A = this chain, B = another copy of it.
C-alpha cells in the first residue's frame, strides 16, 4: 500500500454475551487497539461494548456510534434505508479520520461480524481503502443452543436461519423445507412464529431462548410459553431430527 501512513481496520466479533466466549484473537486485538468503535442504541451502553468491558486497552479512544433509531421505523419504510445509509456514511467517516491518522481501529460486533451484523455496512464502505481484517466470533445462536444443551444439526441435516419478520406462509414453507432451524427477530412476531411452527408440525420440538449466555438467560419449550412479545435478545431453536446412532 502506498500513500500516507494508514492504520488497519479490524472488525472484531466478540461473541454471544459471556465475555469468556470472546476468542483469544479478539482479546489480543482489543488489548492493543488505539480506537474501539461500537454501535449502541440511544440511552444504552451498547451490547458489544458491555461484553468487552475489562478487555480494552485503557488508553484507547472509545467511539460510540449511536443508531438514529432501531425498531421504531419499519425495515420496509423508505425512510429506514435512507436514514440508516446516512448514518453508516457518517460512521465510516469517523473511522476513516482515525485510520488516516494511522490508528489501529477495532470495530466491535456482537456474535459474528458477517452474520447479520451492522459492522458489515462500515466494512463495505472502508475495506477497499484501508488494510483490514475480520475476526469471526461465536454467534448468538451457538451460545443459545450450547446453553440449552440442544444439539442442533446432525449428519446431512438442512439447517435454516429464518427472520421472524417473514410472512406466515413463507415462514411455514421454509420450516417445512428444513430439518433444523433457528428463528431470529422474535419480538412481536412470536404469535405468528408459533402458528407457522404448528402448521409445519414442529411446535413440540421448538425451544425459546432469551438472553443466552448472558447470565440471566431463560430457556423454555415454546409450547409452554405464555403469549406476549419477546425481548430483543431472544430466538427460537428447532433442533434437527436426532438420528439413531
The residue from B142, B157, B177 contacting A139, defined by CB atoms under 8 A apart? B142
Listed stretches A127-135, A198-206, A222-230; interface member:
A127-135
Encode A203-243 as 1/0 by CB contact (under 8 A) with B. 00000000001000000000000000000000000000011
Smallest beta-carbon distance A79→chain B, Å: 13
**Contacts beyond the supplied A114-B146, A124-B151, A158-B161: 17 A-B pairs with Cβ under 8 Å:** A20-B25, A23-B138, A24-B27, A112-B142, A115-B142, A115-B152, A115-B153, A132-B149, A134-B149, A136-B138, A137-B142, A156-B185, A157-B163, A159-B160, A160-B160, A160-B178, A177-B177
Spell out A's residues near B (CB within 8 Å). 13, 15-16, 18-25, 27-28, 75, 81, 84-85, 88, 112-117, 120-121, 123-124, 127, 132, 134-139, 142-143, 145-147, 149-163, 165-166, 173-174, 177-178, 185, 213, 242-245
